[in-house]
């Protein structure tokens, strides 16, 4: 009986110790929301010689709770060409400040959470010029990877792909790069005609261009966090399959 009581006592002490043990690492609060991402529409072309992405993104946003007259986006190591408010078929230039990490935009009025607004940004992403430490699993955080972009390495296929975890998507597209943001997306990717592209959602349209490229339009209707935004392209063979009525394709 005493032996059983001793065992239960030790077990209880272990459970209490486990429950009160301090968590490892610094405390990380949930990022405060001022604006909510609603939709991301990206038109992107790729410069394989410079390993750069030239893009124009239109973000649809809504104030989270309190009215706001400003917007701060994560945009790491980019060249910002223009920032404008989309007003139907026209655009109104906006005042902004950019420090290489954050794009701070002054809106023309105060918006409430019952309103949405659209901001268009033209930019060039330069992932190889952005130096940042990644995590233990991912040693860097440049987000966009050009693999053998000039085709100079024998037996290594030319590829482009992204890896956004945890906040590396904002190296190649201005966004609110937080895991508590959710956005639908439309990506129009101008890729070499010989390559196959891949992104989130469904491939809804392909358009041949006169310069030997093709524009692939991918649409994702389910809102998801920016770190899950994905772009991939390469000389892949696609093996299509399905499982329980859902497409399952293999890119090899």
Per-residue pLDDT reduced to its tens digit, 88-107 = 999 999 999 999 999 999 99
- Tokens of residue 13, six digits: 């002490």
Whether pLDDT at 3 is above 60: no
Within-domain flag for 16: no
Within-domain flag for 8: no
Share of the chain above pLDDT 70, in %: 87
Within-domain flag for 101: yes
Q: What is the mean pLDDT of residues 239-252?
A: 91
Within-domain flag for 183: yes
Q: For 7, phi and psi rounded to 5 degrees? A: -65, -45
CATH code: domain of residue 71: 2.60.40.1730
DSSP 184: E
The residues, ordered by sequence, that sit 6+ positions from 55 with a Cβ below 8 Å of its Cβ are 42, 43, 44, 45, 122, 123, 124, 125, 172, 173
Within-domain flag for 202: yes
Q: What is the mean pLDDT of residues 128-146?
A: 81
Within-domain flag for 21: no
pLDDT at 247: 87
Within-domain flag for 247: yes
Domains of the chain: total? 1
Taking 3-state DSSP, the helix, strand and coil percentages for the chain, each rounded to the nearest 5, stand at: 10, 50, 40
Within-domain flag for 195: yes
Greater model confidence, 6 or 234: 234
The domain of 238 spans: 35-251
Rounded to the nearest integer, the mean pLDDT of the chain is: 91
């Amino acid at each position: 009986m005493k032996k059983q009581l001793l065992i239960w006592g030790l077990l209880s002490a272990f459970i209490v110790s486990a429950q009160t043990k301090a968590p490892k690492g610094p405390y990380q609060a949930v990022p405060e929301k001022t604006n909510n991402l609603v939709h991301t529409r990206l038109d992107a072309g790729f410069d394989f010689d410079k390993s750069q992405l030239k893009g124009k993104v239109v973000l649809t946003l809504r104030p989270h709770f309190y009215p706001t007259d400003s917007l701060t986006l994560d945009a790491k190591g980019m060249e910002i060409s223009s920032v404008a408010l989309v007003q139907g078929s026209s655009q109104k230039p906006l005042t902004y400040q950019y420090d290489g990490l954050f794009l701070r935009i002054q809106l023309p009025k105060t918006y409430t959470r019952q309103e949405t607004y659209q901001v268009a940004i033209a930019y060039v992403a330069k992932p190889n010029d952005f130096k940042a430490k990644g995590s233990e699993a991912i040693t860097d955080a440049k987000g966009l990877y050009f693999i053998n972009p000039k085709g100079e390495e024998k037996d290594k296929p030319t590829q482009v792909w992204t890896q956004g975890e945890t906040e590396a998507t904002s190296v190649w597209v201005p966004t609110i790069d937080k895991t508590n943001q959710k956005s639908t997306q439309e990506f129009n990717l101008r890729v070499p005609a010989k390559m196959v592209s891949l992104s989130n959602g469904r491939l809804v349209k392909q358009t041949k261009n006169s310069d030997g490229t093709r524009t692939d339009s991918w649409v994702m209707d389910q809102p998801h966090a920016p770190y899950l935004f994905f772009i991939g392209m390469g000389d892949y063979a696609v093996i299509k399959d399905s499982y329980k009525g859902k497409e399952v394709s293999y890119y090899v």
